């Protein structure tokens, strides 16, 4: 068994908190870390089909370079955004 029971429990709790897509990808990352036999071990640990792990591995190999759902922009300076003035969110008049 590659991970101690306490770590497995934390991994399962985290896995259960994720969306379906993120579950596949998390399982794939964990399986990749383990190497030979990792896909079967992780599939058993998370009670998922090994095909799901393989699908996650495939998704990880084809991630887009840009991440449109990012919360923050890459390279954003926290100090610059904290000192900038807020913009008006009021709709403009088109009359």
Could you tell me the two tokens for 64?
């887009």
| 11-54 per-position pLDDT tens digit | 999 999 999 999 999 999 999 999 999 999 999 999 999 999 99
| 62-95 per-position pLDDT tens digit | 987 766 666 666 676 666 555 555 555 555 555 5
User: How far is the CA of 48 from the CAs of 9, 40, 43, 51, 86, in angstroms?
Assistant: 16, 9, 5, 8, 47
Supply the pTM of this predicted model: 0.68
Cα(76)–Cα(6) distance, integer angstroms: 37
Any idea where the domains of the chain sit in the sequence? 5-63
Residues 60, 31 contacting (CB under 8 angstroms): no
């Amino acid at each position: 068994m590659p991970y101690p029971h306490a770590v497995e429990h934390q991994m399962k709790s985290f896995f259960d908190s994720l969306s379906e897509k993120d579950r596949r990808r998390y399982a794939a990352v964990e399986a990749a870390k383990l190497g030979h036999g990792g896909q079967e071990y992780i599939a058993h640990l998370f009670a998922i089909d090994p095909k799901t792990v393989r699908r996650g591995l495939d998704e990880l190999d084809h991630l887009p370079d840009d991440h449109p759902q990012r919360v923050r922009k890459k390279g954003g300076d926290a100090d610059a955004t904290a000192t900038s003035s807020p913009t008006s969110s009021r709709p403009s008049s088109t009359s």
